[in-house]
Structure 1
Amino acid sequence: MDNRIKVSKVDNVTLWRTGRKVDGTLHLQLHHLIFRYYDPAQPQPHTAQDKPPAPRLREMWVAYPMISRCTYRPSFSVQHSSPIMRFQCRDFTFFALHFAKDTEAREAYDTIRCLTCKVGSVERLYAFSYKSPDPEKAISGWNLYDPRREFKRMGISAKDTDKGWRISAINHDYQYSPTYPSLLAVPSVISDMTLKYARDFRSRARIPALVYLHPINNCSITRSSQPLPGLQRKRNPQDEKLIAAIFATSRPNGEAFMPDSLQPSPSSSPSHVDSPSQSTEQLPPVSGESSFVVADTAAEDHALASATNPRGRMYGAQQKNLIVDARPRLNATVNSAIGKGSEDMAHYGAAAKAYLGIANIHVMRNSLNKVVDALKHTDMADLPPSRDQLAKSGWLEHISLILDGARIIVRAIAIEHSHVLIHCSDGWDRTSQLSALAQICLDPYYRTMEGFIVLVEKDWLSFGHQFRQRSGLLNSEKWFEIENERIGGGEGANNGPAGSGNAFENALLSAKGFFGNKRNDSRESLVEPETEMKSGYESPNARSNGTPHTPEKGNSTKLDEVSPVFHQFLDAVYQLLCQHPTRFEFNDRFLKRLLYHLYSCQYGTFLFDNEKERAEYKAHDRTQSVWDFFLARKAMFMNERYDATVDDRVRGKERIFVPDMARVRWWAEVFGRKDEELNGPALFPNTQRQRPHPEAAEAAGPVLYKVESGNPATGETKEREIHTNESSFNGEPGLVAGFAALATGHRSPSPSANKSRTHPMEVELQ
């Protein structure tokens, strides 16, 4: 038996959950806490001759990585009470265990803490010993995603460069960029030598690389990390050349072309696309709900009317390529103090840059913690959520802002015929969210179960996301505490009422401080911290070379690196599914179960931070893919309302749709609550970004955009103003209309001083 297990079985334990209690036996196995009890069956009518229904044996299984907080209170911390442990889980399950004896309770606590926190290596997680049933073994989920096959679906292959792209194997051994995939799609005119020198200008060598190519207009979504200009505003010609080539991979008629600076010979294709008369490409309609499609200005009315009528406007008449920096502008600016920053648009041609203002991982972590605080007291009593705490969490505002960023990307590609480059800091958190959500809106394939699996494999697993750190899979002993030690003094002590003589009452009265109110800094860090790449990760090669191994220190979770990034992505997908219930092949149960397996460590899919780690640990051979679980039970996760028809001439069946931020709602099921508890009318005024009625927006006046534009020839920058009516987008400011206004040189009349407002999203245009 593992030496971490001090006790494997404890009898006479009482389980509290949602205010109900049941007596049973606690079993502590190597990977799971199991509570086994007899649940009295529902009374059934029976005659005197019939036997009453027998109680049914039930089990509650909790994988140790699911535990995000455990507090142990010995009996002597509160007079006349029994020892108790309270648990808070990552799937928003809350329960408590009452013990008969302090010695048994302490041994159980020490065992659970050791099995949860002293894992030491990712290889000791459940996935490496899990034996899947035969239906799962037949799936081969690791083989569902093949980058070459996905590139070919987009029209890119190793031999065919007609679309302006090629597949590079410069990272085949992960030496070029350890956190990037082995295969990268880059412009055909860019050599590997250029890539070699461009890598030094991007954080962690995460250069701009293709993730999506639109099948109709050949406009692309590329992703990268932040550049490294620093305070001296350094430049990198190879980086500028790479981005110029990306923006030059399409023409309005879809043909590949290169700018003059990249032409291999004078006889090559033309180098400009500014003339509207050259545009003959039509994009499919962009669908949305009625709150989105109502237009109050001629420009937006024309764009959206054309979107619902393929014979109307010719798309691609104006191309204004877009660089999306997901961070607040202040964060990007302050990062320049440590040698990082954002692009100087004077050197990146005819492109615009938008700062989306999406908060970093620390703000998101604190936001979710506030949601948990509103829900966590549901173990000892069936209490309603604290609506005030839910409103103050800001969770829905964050989800709405992420969806708004995806909307901007979708419209830039679908209406403005633009290429979009996305990055945040290291390009593996907010970048993955925005890239994946935009592709779901643009491509019906990613709304099928197979396509969604491919999307997660590509944008999250292949391009690297720190799943182990962000999810805290190796846990931390700081999430475990003993109540009497905390009460004894020090920061956060809460003596609570003692001597009431009722353990249940005492638990409720001291519930506010029971889980330990650890102080969390809610301020957003302006300088993004450097992530320690080897934190929580020990290469098998390092161990074979005799590298010392210290499980508790070297391979435990860094608390300031934990954040619900992938959870937010799934929440945003849930919003899209609710808004377009017939457009997704899978249901919300699929998303909820996927979030559970993010933390369960039953499968190897989410245990590693990048392709390189999965290859070093031979995850494909030693663990099962999480997709085996879903595809072996596919019928459970299918959407009965799904309509696979794609017809750009029929409203509601178009290829493309956009998110509606006014309809963002709480994902009640994932938080373990009823829909009416979280989505009641009283919550929405404080938690949703409501769009004003068009008449109210008209009365409020136009929106003032302050932008910076630069001259590539001189390097000079100057501030300009763009005015556009806010009601033109039914309350959502018209960013795309602003791009069109710049491209045509049109400026609306200046608003009156008492009506002008500056939109929080900052836009930098060249």
Structure 2
Amino acid sequence: LLRSSQPLTGPNRRRSREDEQLLGTILAEGERGFVLDTRSAQAAKQARISGGGTEHKSAYPGWRRLHRALDRGRVLQDSFSRLVELCSDPAVTMERWLGRLDSSRWLGHVKAALSTACLAAQCLDREGCTVLVHGAEGTDTTLLVTALAQLILDPACRTLDGFQGLLEREWIQAGHPFQLRCARSASSHARGKQEAPVFLLFLDCVWQLSRQFPLSLEFGEQLLLTLFDNAYASAYGTFLCNNERERSLCKVKESTHSLWAWLNQPEERHKYLNPLYSHNPLVIWPCVEPQSIQLWQGFFLRWIRPSQHLEEAWGQIRRLVQGN
């Protein structure tokens, strides 16, 4: 499983011998690979105007390009805002709730992300092929797909330690611009041009996996909520800046504490563990049919629906498990 940014072919269809040689050496003779582009074919063609583009078919023999368009940027932010407004409306009727939930298109974004990740995982697991994922810059929907695909395929990523490593590798070190994407409150009406809840979409997809496979993830919903909160406002330096270069220049590691160090303290760690967890060595294939994708109530209704009884129930489950 590989990831990158788009090839910079531009309007003149430039070629990169280095890229061609690199991808050529990855495939053995007779093998094939897939380039999974998270843009539509039309968007990829239009990117040539600004210097981007797609791979030349003739220059990359053995590689087949697949387009699976995933929205990001303003489209994703507006979708999220509409859903937040709906969840904050105390006078909404059932009919209007269902209509506005559908028109927000948030669950559609969740379905699209999971479907694309499943496609990447299927190419890897069932076809035995190499997969290269990229969109435009390779720091948004690209990371969304590669991280979800690894969760689906690799049981090590579904442990608490493995999930932390996945986030560190696929989101933080890979250069997801947290400072730009999470500049203000996620629910703020004053939004910057580059704000977008891509990381929240990832967390929502992880929650969907945990709901469909309640025994297969070692961590629970509380960890996902904590990660969201810290991505937007944190006492720790883990999600600061936009990339490793900025963190190095700002000396983030030297001047701040790590969120992981705090989460892994024994007195804190147990709060985020799933008491029902049982190691599952198999691939977990989520159902992406519309009726299987549900609203993440623990997040979107967290300030509306009291969580006391749910927390008490989970506490009782932990006591029962520990007693056995």
Q: Give TM-score, length-normalised by structure 1.
A: 0.38
2-side partners of 1:222 and 1:465: how far apart? 16
**Aligned with 2:128 (options 401, 414, 417):** 417
2-side partners of 1:474 and 1:667: how far apart? 19
**Aligned with 2:38 (options 308, 326, 329):** 326
Counterpart for residue 143 of structure 2: 432
- Do 2:35 and 2:132's aligned partners in 1 also have CA atoms closer than 8 Å? yes
Q: Deviations over 1:574-603 (max 9, x none)?
A: 111111111111011111121111112221
Counterpart for residue 157 of structure 2: 446
Q: CA deviation at 1:320?
A: 3.0
Counterpart for residue 664 of structure 1: 293
Counterpart for residue 687 of structure 1: none
- Do 1:377 and 1:383's aligned partners in 2 also have CA atoms closer than 8 Å? no
Q: CA deviation at 1:246?
A: 2.2
The change in CA–CA distance for 1:608 and 1:372 in structure 2 (over 3 A counts) is same
Q: RMSD of the alignment, in Å?
A: 2.3
1-side partners of 2:185 and 2:278: how far apart? 41
Report SS of the residue matched to 1:426: coil
Report SS of the residue matched to 1:324: strand
Counterpart for residue 593 of structure 1: 226
Q: CA deviation at 1:455?
A: 0.4
Report SS of the residue matched to 2:53: coil
2-side partners of 1:232 and 1:417: how far apart? 34
Counterpart for residue 4 of structure 2: 224
The change in CA–CA distance for 1:452 and 1:572 in structure 2 (over 3 A counts) is same
Counterpart for residue 560 of structure 1: 193
Paired AA for residue 208 in structure 2: Q
2-side partners of 1:583 and 1:376: how far apart? 32
Q: CA deviation at 1:360?
A: 2.6
1:350 and 2:39 matched: no
Paired AA for residue 600 in structure 1: A
Counterpart for residue 212 of structure 2: 579
Report SS of the residue matched to 2:152: helix
1-side partners of 2:185 and 2:196: how far apart? 14
Counterpart for residue 611 of structure 1: 244
- Do 2:155 and 2:280's aligned partners in 1 also have CA atoms closer than 8 Å? no
- Do 1:446 and 1:455's aligned partners in 2 also have CA atoms closer than 8 Å? yes
2-side partners of 1:226 and 1:669: how far apart? 36
Paired AA for residue 38 in structure 2: A
1:238 and 2:1 matched: no
2-side partners of 1:337 and 1:433: how far apart? 26
Q: CA deviation at 1:365?
A: 0.7
2-side partners of 1:394 and 1:645: how far apart? 32
Q: CA deviation at 1:387?
A: 2.9
Paired AA for residue 629 in structure 1: W
1:104-503 to 2 correspondences below 5 Å: 221-248=1-28, 272-273=29-30, 319-378=31-90, 386-473=97-184, 479=190
Report SS of the residue matched to 1:337: helix
What is the aligned length?
299
Paired AA for residue 614 in structure 1: R
Report SS of the residue matched to 2:36: strand
- Among the aligned pairs, what percent are the same residue? 31
Report SS of the residue matched to 1:327: coil
- Do 1:322 and 1:421's aligned partners in 2 also have CA atoms closer than 8 Å? yes
2-side partners of 1:323 and 1:339: how far apart? 19
Paired AA for residue 658 in structure 1: W
Report SS of the residue matched to 1:347: coil
Paired AA for residue 299 in structure 2: V
Q: CA deviation at 1:389?
A: 1.5
Counterpart for residue 277 of structure 2: 642
2-side partners of 1:396 and 1:325: how far apart? 21
2-side partners of 1:373 and 1:473: how far apart? 17
1-side partners of 2:215 and 2:302: how far apart? 24
Q: CA deviation at 1:659?
A: 2.2
Q: CA deviation at 1:350?
A: 1.1
2-side partners of 1:356 and 1:565: how far apart? 16
Paired AA for residue 146 in structure 2: S
Paired AA for residue 12 in structure 2: Q
- Do 2:113 and 2:144's aligned partners in 1 also have CA atoms closer than 8 Å? yes
Specify every segment of 5 or more residues in structure 1 that has no aligned partner in the other structure, as ranges: 1-220, 249-271, 274-318, 480-557, 647-653, 677-766
1-side partners of 2:70 and 2:206: how far apart? 17
Q: Give TM-score, length-normalised by structure 2.
A: 0.87
1-side partners of 2:112 and 2:287: how far apart? 11
Report SS of the residue matched to 1:659: coil
Counterpart for residue 310 of structure 2: none
- Do 1:226 and 1:423's aligned partners in 2 also have CA atoms closer than 8 Å? yes
2-side partners of 1:238 and 1:368: how far apart? 40
Q: CA deviation at 1:645?
A: 5.0
Report SS of the residue matched to 2:103: helix
- Do 1:473 and 1:601's aligned partners in 2 also have CA atoms closer than 8 Å? no
2-side partners of 1:464 and 1:598: how far apart? 14
Q: CA deviation at 1:674?
A: 10
2-side partners of 1:440 and 1:474: how far apart? 28
Q: Deviations over 1:557-579 (max 9, x none)?
A: x7110000000000011111111
Paired AA for residue 578 in structure 1: R
1-side partners of 2:55 and 2:134: how far apart? 11
Which protein has the bigger helix share? 2
2-side partners of 1:614 and 1:383: how far apart? 47
Paired AA for residue 243 in structure 1: L
Paired AA for residue 6 in structure 2: Q
2-side partners of 1:375 and 1:398: how far apart? 17
The change in CA–CA distance for 1:474 and 1:593 in structure 2 (over 3 A counts) is closer
2-side partners of 1:320 and 1:371: how far apart? 41
Report SS of the residue matched to 1:455: helix
1:677-756 to 2 correspondences below 5 Å: none
2-side partners of 1:474 and 1:592: how far apart? 14
